[in-house]
Structure 1
Amino acid sequence: MITVLLITIILLAISFAGFAITILIKKNGKFPELHLGKNEDLKKRGIGCATSQDKMEQAKAKRSHQFKQLTLLDKEVNSL
């Protein structure tokens, strides 16, 4: 049990050391941006973050008053 714990701690220490070395060796010292909204190639193709696109569409719908406060009964009556 203790040997497994020690091996795990050693492997984690090696991986953190690898990350630290990667940051020191890289030109800007930063990891690449992985967020879809900041990726220039995806922007050129018109692909964006699903969460951001959803927020924009909800705001657009709210401005155009597409959201109505209907109850389930009102929806049923309108569909008849």
Structure 2
Amino acid sequence: MLYTLLITLLIVAICLVLLGVKVFFTKGGKFPNGHVSGNKALRDKGISCAQSQDREAQAKPSNSIDEYEKTLNDSMN
């Protein structure tokens, strides 16, 4: 069992080193930004993450039911 544990730890350590080659061995290296807002192509399309969209939606003042009814009536006429 100890042998299996040591082999497992060795494999995990090798994987971590291989995943972090750019970070560990290049000057100023850092992991790539995996967040939606860090992707230029998505930003150009106007796509943002759900947390940002939720924050923006909550920052806007909510409309009253009367305003919704008026908008609905105006769209039907």
TM-score range, shorter-chain basis? 0.5 to 0.7
Deviation at 1:66, TM superposition (A): 3.2
CA RMSD of aligned residues (A): 2.2
CA distance in 2, matches of 1:67, 1:55: 20
Q: Percent identity, please.
A: 38
Q: Which residue of 2 aligns with 1:40?
A: 40
Per the normalisation by structure 1, the TM-score is 0.64
Give runs of aligned pairs for residues 1-80 of structure 1, distance below 5 A.
1-26=1-26, 28-60=28-60, 63=61, 65-66=62-63
Per the normalisation by structure 2, the TM-score is 0.66
Q: Which residue of 2 aligns with 1:73?
A: none
Q: Which residue of 2 aligns with 1:76?
A: none
Deviation at 1:24, TM superposition (A): 3.9
Deviation at 1:27, TM superposition (A): 6.6
Deviation at 1:38, TM superposition (A): 2.0
Paired residues in the alignment total 65
Which stretches in structure 1 are left out of the alignment for 5+ residues? 69-80
State the Cα deviation string for residues 23-72 of structure 1 (Å, max 9, x = none). 24557411211110121100111111011101111111xx2x4379xxxx
